[in-house]
Every structure is written in structure tokens, then in C-alpha cells.
Amino acid sequence: MPSDQEPTHLAAMKGDGFYNRHSAMQTTGIAALLPLWEAACRTVVVGEGPMTIVDYGCSQGRNSMIPMRVAIEALRLRSGVPIEVVHTDLPSNDFSALFEVLASDLNSYMNDASEVFPSAIGRSYFEALFPPQRVGLAWTTWALQWMSVSTIEAPDHILAGMSSEASVVAAVREQQAKDWELFLTLRSREMRPGAKLLAGFTARTANATGWEWLLGELWAAVCDMATEGWLSEPERKRLTIPIGLRTLAEIERPFAEAGVFAGLALDHLELVKLADPCWEDFERSGDASAFAKRYADMTQAWCAPMIASLVAPFREPTAFLAELFARFEQRLSERPRRHEPYMAAVVLSKRA
């Protein structure tokens, strides 16, 4: 249910390049999106002037290098226009890691680029980021499951979108519907006629998310700590990560009546079940500790700063986080399972 406390600001990913080093699961999802992205880049309208590609919710950039390279190569087969690549994220994002990757990563799309101009914006994409009709191609992965605000408290799960409490389910659904429509409306204004947007984000079937094992263990670790006095009951409730998982029907809803929403047409919508990037190694080695460490690090990478900001009003977060993630890792090593989350793959185009 909605909290009566001040909303906590959304926190970006764990800094100092930690997310870049621990995001193999997200990389797997991106690989699954590349054929759709390449098709969008081959068919998008390319004008005379510079082409603007935007990477909304870029984090520290490593996972954006291949998709941006794919886009640049597809465009270069058709045109020599200057290309600007703009990476956007929250103001608290570790943009230094992004610029390091651009300068020195083996996969940097800048390595052999000509007439390609990268830059970055530190501002939420729930605000306008560009003048009207500036954007030609837009990419966003693993970001749109985050809600625009953190006001919902779930008594029975660490992830707002995995609560079974009816009032929480309804509040998440309402917030996610509003956020999706706002995101679409803002992007549509920024996109030029014929522009395309590809979005990949955490989603669900009616009954499953694919996160039941991983986040069930994280929640169990929180509950153990609450039982042992690390958290009071109100603190445990407040510890709710503002993420919701949409069904395909919820994603499609704004387009349902007219086929178009805010000038955007829904060209493609699909639910993809991802393979576990760590399971083969685990089967080969049988090393449950190494498997658990990889998942504990990958989980910390995306949620530790948010958890820190949710507990910070009550306690010093560093020791709390160390204890929580040690317990989480231990639980994962005792009960290793395949992690196969669902991802929505969405392609939109701006009507001419």
C-alpha cells in the first residue's frame, strides 16, 4: 500500500563500475534483443542531417557498446551522416565508468568510429530530455521496470511487483500504467517522424516472473534479519524496491483502442524467457559457492544502492548491506536454481 512517508529518491546502480562488472544477466537479455534492434536500424527513416541515437537508462555503459555499434554499422551501410549517441540516466549514475568504457573498452563503439559523437545526460527520463523531433533511434534496456517514485510499501516481499497483497498489487499496477504512458508521451515528442524505439525490460506472465527463486531468497534473508532484531516491522515494510513487472496486456493497453498511442505505433511485442548465463558453468563445475557469488554480486549491482537509501533514514547502511548480502549468498549456495527471468521486447515507431 502507498506509504505516508516522504518518497525515497531512486538510486542508480552500484558505482565504481560494479554494475559493468556484474551484469551478465542483463547482457544475455540484450543479446536476445539484437536481431530486433538491427532490423529497426535497417528500416528507420534516415534524413539528411545528423542522426541522434539515444540510450535511455544507460547505467555504466558496458552493456550499451554492442547495441550502439550495431546501430552505427547498420546506419553506415545507408548513410554517412554524423551520428550522435546520447546516453541518459539518473543524476546519481556513475557516468565516469561510462566514459571510461567509451575511451578504453575493447567493445567501445568509438574504437573505429568516424563522425560519431557520444555524450550523456544525467536526468530522469520521466522528464523531457530533448527538443521536439530530435531523436531518430532510441534504445532502453532493463530500466522501465523501475517505477518513477518509491512510495509503495509491501509487507510480504522486497520487490513491490512481487507482493501478493491486493492493495500493493493495485498500487503497483496503477503506478506502472501511469509511468508507461508518461514515458511514451515524452519519448514521442522527442522522436522524429519515422523514428524507432526498442525497449527491453523485466516483465511477467499472469503467474510467473522468473525471479521467484532469486528474490524469494533475498526476501527470506531480510526476514531472518528482522527476526534477529536488525530491522523493526515498519523498517522491514519500508524496505520495498520500487520495481513492478508488467504483463504483455498491460504494456499493450495504451495502444489497444486505436493501435496508436501519443503518435507511436506498437510494431512488436513479445515476452522472452531468458536463459541463465551462469547455470552451465555451475553444472560443469558443481561449484555452488561460485554460482551463489555471481548471483549475489549481480543482485547487489542493481539493488544495493536502492536498499541503502531505503534503510539509511533508520541506520548506517554499510554494515546492514554487508550482512544482508552475506546471508543472501549463503542461501543461494544452499539452494542453487536456474534463474530464467521474463523480459518484454517492445518495438515502437513514430508515425510520420
Interface with ligand SAM: number of residues (CB under 6 A) = 23
Closest CB 93 distance from ligand SAM, rounded Å: 5
Closest CB 25 distance from ligand SAM, rounded Å: 9
Binding of residue 12 to ligand SAM (CB under 6 A)? yes
Q: Which runs of consecutive H residues, i.e. helices, occur in 263-342?
A: 279-285, 288-311, 317-334
**220: burial class by Cβ within 10 Å (0-12, 13-18, 19+)?**
middle
Q: How far apart are CA 29 and CA 338, in angstroms?
A: 15
Binding of residue 75 to ligand SAM (CB under 6 A)? no
Binding of residue 125 to ligand SAM (CB under 6 A)? yes
The grid cell for 213 is 527463486
Among 43, 124, 247, 309, which residue sits at the site for ligand SAM (rule: CB under 6 A)? 124
| Bridge partners for 53 per DSSP | 85, 137
- Mask of contacts with ligand SAM, 15-54, x by CB under 6 A? --------x--x---x------------------------
Among 126, 213, 255, 314, which residue sits at the site for ligand SAM (rule: CB under 6 A)? 126
Q: How far apart are CA 267 and CA 196, in angstroms?
A: 9
Q: Which stretch binds ligand SAM (CB under 6 A): 103-111, 136-144, 211-219, 315-323?
A: 136-144
Q: How far apart are CA 254 and CA 67, in angstroms?
A: 27
The grid cell for 54 is 539515444
Planar angle of CA 32, 34, 40, nearest 5 degrees: 135
**Residue whose CB is less far from ligand SAM, 144 or 332:** 144
Which amino acid makes up residue 259? G
Check if the beta carbon of residue 160 is closer than 8 Å to that of residue 101. no
Check if the beta carbon of residue 266 is closer than 8 Å to that of residue 259. yes
Question: Which 8-state DSSP code applies to residue 103?
Answer: H
Among 8, 141, 209, 300, which residue sits at the site for ligand SAM (rule: CB under 6 A)? 141
The grid cell for 146 is 523501475
Q: How far apart are CA 212 and CA 162, in angstroms?
A: 8
Binding of residue 57 to ligand SAM (CB under 6 A)? yes
Among 282, 302, 325, 342, which residue sits at the site for ligand SAM (rule: CB under 6 A)? 302
Closest CB 16 distance from ligand SAM, rounded Å: 14
**Residue whose CB is less far from ligand SAM, 10 or 266:** 10
**245: burial class by Cβ within 10 Å (0-12, 13-18, 19+)?**
buried
Q: Which stretch binds ligand SAM (CB under 6 A): 83-91, 104-112, 169-177, 232-240?
A: 83-91
**Residue whose CB is less far from ligand SAM, 187 or 236:** 187
The residues binding ligand SAM (CB under 6 A) are: 10, 12-13, 23, 26, 30, 57-59, 63, 88-90, 93, 124-126, 141-143, 146, 148, 302
